[in-house]
Amino acid sequence: MKYINYFFAGLFFGFVLVKAEVISWFRIQEMFRFQSFHMYGIIGSALMVAMLSVFIIKKLKLKTISGEEIKIEGKKFNWGYVIGGIIFGFGWALTGACPGPLYALMGSGVLVIVVVLVSAVLGTYCYGVFKEKLPH
Quick check: 3 binds another protein (CB under 8 A)? yes
Q: Helix crossing, 99-107 with 4-20: angle to 10°? A: 90
Whole-angstrom Cα distance, residue 34 to residue 83? 23
Q: How far is the CB of 53 from another protein (least distance, A)?
A: 4
Quick check: 64 binds another protein (CB under 8 A)? yes
Quick check: 61 binds another protein (CB under 8 A)? no
Q: How far is the CB of 15 from another protein (least distance, A)?
A: 4
Residues sharing a CB contact under 8 Å with residue 61, sequence separation 6 or more, in sequence order:
69, 70
Quick check: 60 binds another protein (CB under 8 A)? no
Q: Which of 6, 102, 98, 109 is nearest to 43 (CA)?
A: 98
Quick check: 59 binds another protein (CB under 8 A)? no
Please pick, from the candidates 47, 59, 60, 133, the single residue that binds another protein as defined by CB under 8 A: 47
Q: In the window 67-96, what residues touch another protein (CB under 8 A)? A: 68, 70-78, 80-96
Q: How far is the CB of 23 from another protein (least distance, A)?
A: 6
SS3 71: coil
Whole-angstrom Cα distance, residue 54 to residue 62? 10
Q: How far is the CB of 13 from another protein (least distance, A)?
A: 6
